Every structure is written in structure tokens, then in C-alpha cells.
Chain A
Amino acid sequence: MRRQYWRDFAKGIWEQNPVFKQLLGMCPVLAVTNTALNGLSMGLATAFVLISSSIIVSIIKGFIPRQVRIPSYIVIIATFVTVADLVLAALFPEISRALGAYVPLIVVNCLILSRQESFASDHPTHRAFLDALGMSAGFTFALLVLSSVREILGVGELFGFPVTMGLFRDWGVMILPAGAFLSLGVLIGLANYTTHKLGWES
């Protein structure tokens, strides 16, 4: 039983990592990972929405008719996104400004909807919570890795602190849209390679 719970949580971190393996929720992954701080804040905001929605959906799953489940999930998600957006704007106005329109766009992050559809809607609340927690951890981890790579290569800093000590010139392109696609492509390629070499495939 305890093993089962551990699996619910742990599968999201690597084996079914939303970004590296399932390629879900790509828009915020690419858009706001120009600095590590932005990437981390987006990861945490998404985690809040995902965990809260999974809990609510798994509690009320018995009351939602099958035909209207998707719109109902989206309304639940949109409500939590509005909460997250207002809280961010009130407490961390600078981060809120940097993330801009990508906070409201958490509503259409396919990761969140896919977890409701494929897990929270037919599992008990505590397991849905663990699943959401694991997926959020995996998502935040991926965002942090990608945004650190881009910030270090693009402006030579990490969380705003200089780290490269002028060893090489900054690659300006890394913080531009093209750099997001290129670095994520290379990272996923590396993830495939290591998974295969280490024999982690299930």
C-alpha cells in the first residue's frame, strides 16, 4: 500500500516527467524560462493550481456528469488560476509583471487538464493529491533546469548573480524565443539518452 502511494508521487518526477517525457504544458515551459527566478515562480504557481484542482476534482468527481466533465474541470482550474493571479499581483508585483499574460494562461496548461482527466477523476483524494504533488515537482524541476541553463548561457547569471566569471561571451540568443526551442530540444535529447544508458526505461 505504501509502495503504491510512493509510486503515485514518484512517477511524475522522472519516469512520466510532464516536460521531458510527456511534453505537456510546453507553452509556459518555453515562454517564461528566460531567467531562473521566472521559471521557478511559474513552476510554483502551476503547482498550486494543479494540486488544488486535483483535490477538488477528486472530491466532487461523483457529482459531475460525464458529458460536461471537461468544461467543469476547466471552470475549476480557471477559478484557482484567478486566485493565483490575484495573489501574485498583490504580493509579488514584480514577478507578476515579468510573467505577464502567462499566469492566466495556466488555465490552458494541458498538464493540469490531463491530470484531472487521467488521474484525479477516478482516484481517491489522497492519491490524487500525491499524483498532483509529484507532477508539480517534476514540472517545477524541469522549468528550473531549463531556465537555469538559459540564464547562465544567455546572460551569464543565475538567479541574478553572475556565475560565469567572464569565461565566455553571453549567447544573447538563449534568452530569445529561438534559444528556448533549441535548449529544450537538446535537454530532451539528453534526457532520452541518459534514460536509455542508465536502463531506467520501464
Chain B
Amino acid sequence: MELFLIFLAATLVNNFVLTYFLGICPFLNVSDRLDSSFSLGMATTFVMTMTAAVSWLINNFLLIPYNFHYLEYVSFILVIASLVQLVEMFIHKVSPPLYEALGIFLPLITTNCAILGMALFASMRDYTFIETLVYGFGAGVGFTLAISIMAGIRERLQLADVPWPFRGAPITLLIAGILALAFMGFAGLLAV
């Protein structure tokens, strides 16, 4: 039950994109087609879950016992960068078209703040190993959810007549604002 609450909180109530503003760059830039957004979401979820596990191990077995707390940011970001490299090689091998579609945004998962943010939040909250894993997975699912909803809306938006200064990023931000309002409705769901 505890684990389910953590998952639900990370996915809906404290959605990383719409309430913590983490992972905004891909959210704004890759969200124009549903299928590639969804794939990016899955890749991000995978990296997040792995990062959650590895960063917990590093934090609890290296940084805390040896008092290297100030190396937290450097070591977490290195973990993320190497995991992204791994995923990149994997996708390149398994699905070249997807690799082409994600393009520059694949290496940029490294600088997706949602991932580092998740690792830092998890270490701040002193989660156990399993809780961290669920938290990372939930955050990834929340990210996938937000970016897929956005891509779905933007696919329809291509037919709409948007005033010219607002085409592209501004209208996307306005939609994100309305989505964030909608997600505020989840705030009363559970007290976290």
C-alpha cells in the first residue's frame, strides 16, 4: 500500500513535468508526434528506474559511509550519463528508425532534469531501496503520461488556426498551463 501511494504521488499528484517543472525541454520540443513522444517517455522511464537503483546504491554504500556527501551531484550525473549512453547504443542496435526519430534528444536525456531531480528527491527523502525504485518508475510513468497527452493535443492542434505570434512554443506552454490546472485536481487525492 505504501509503495502504491509513492507510485501514485510521483505519477499524478506531484507529476514531475506539470508540478515540479522537471523535464520541460523534451516536453516542449519532442511532443509533436504521439509515437515518438511515447518512445521517448519509455526510454526516459527506463533510464529513471535504473538511475534510481544505481544512485541509491552509490549514495548508501559509498557517499554516506565515507562522508563524500559533496560528491552527490557529480556522481549522480555520471551514473545518468553512462546509462543514457547504454540506452542509446541499445536503441541504435534494435530500432534504427526510432534512433533517427529521437535524434539529438536521445543524448539530451542526460540533461533531462527530471532524472537528476528524481535521484536528488529520493536521496533527500531517505527512501529504502524498493521505495526508490518505485519512485523512479512512477516518475518516469508520470513523465510519459504528460508528454503523451501533450503530443496527442498537439497532433490535433496542427489543424487549428493559432494566431501567428503564438505558434510553436507559446501555444504549447499555454496548453501546458491548462494541463497543470487540470492536474491540480489530483492534489487532494492523497496527502504527501
Seen from chain A, the residues whose Cβ lies within 8 Å of a Cβ on chain B are: 23-24, 26-28, 30-31, 70-71, 74-75, 78-79, 81-82, 85-86, 101, 104-105, 107-110, 113, 173, 176-182, 184-186, 188-190, 192-193, 196
Contacts and interface: CB of A to CB of B under 8 A. Distances in A.
Interface string B86-105: 00000000000000000000
Nearest to B15: A177
Q: Which secondary structure characterizes the binding site on chain A?
A: helix
24 contacts: A27-B22, A27-B24, A27-B25, A28-B21, A31-B22, A70-B81, A75-B78, A78-B77, A82-B74, A101-B117, A107-B73, A108-B111, A108-B115, A110-B111, A113-B111, A173-B181, A176-B180, A177-B18, A179-B177, A180-B21, A185-B166, A185-B169, A185-B171, A185-B172
Given A24-B25, A74-B110, A108-B111, A189 B74 contact: no
Contact of B169 (A78, A113, A188, A196): A188
Given A176-B184, A185-B173, A188-B169, A107 B110 contact: no
Nearest to B180: A178
A81 B81 CA distance: 17
B28 A23 contact: yes
A9 B21 CA distance: 29
Q: Which secondary structure characterizes the binding site on chain B?
A: helix
Nearest to B27: A26
Among B18, B21, B115, chain A packs the most CB atoms within 10 A around the CB of: B21
Contacts of B74: 75, 78-79, 82
Contact of B73 (A30, A70, A81): A81
A192 to B, nearest CB: 4
Interface in B140-192: 163-166, 169-174, 176-178, 180-181, 184
B113 interface: yes
B145 to A, nearest CB: 16
B34 to A, nearest CB: 21
B47 to A, nearest CB: 13
Contact of A185 (B77, B124, B164, B174): B174
Given A74-B110, A104-B73, A196-B165, A188 B180 contact: no
Given A23-B29, A186-B170, A86 B177 contact: no
B20 interface: yes
Contacts of A78: 73-74, 77
A184 B28 CA distance: 13
B111 A181 contact: no
A81 B77 CA distance: 12
Contacts of A181: 173-174, 176-177, 180
Contact of B184 (A79, A110, A178): A178
Nearest to A26: B24
A108 B180 CA distance: 23
Contact of A101 (B121, B178, B184): B121
B81 A27 contact: no
A1 B115 CA distance: 43
B71 to A, nearest CB: 8
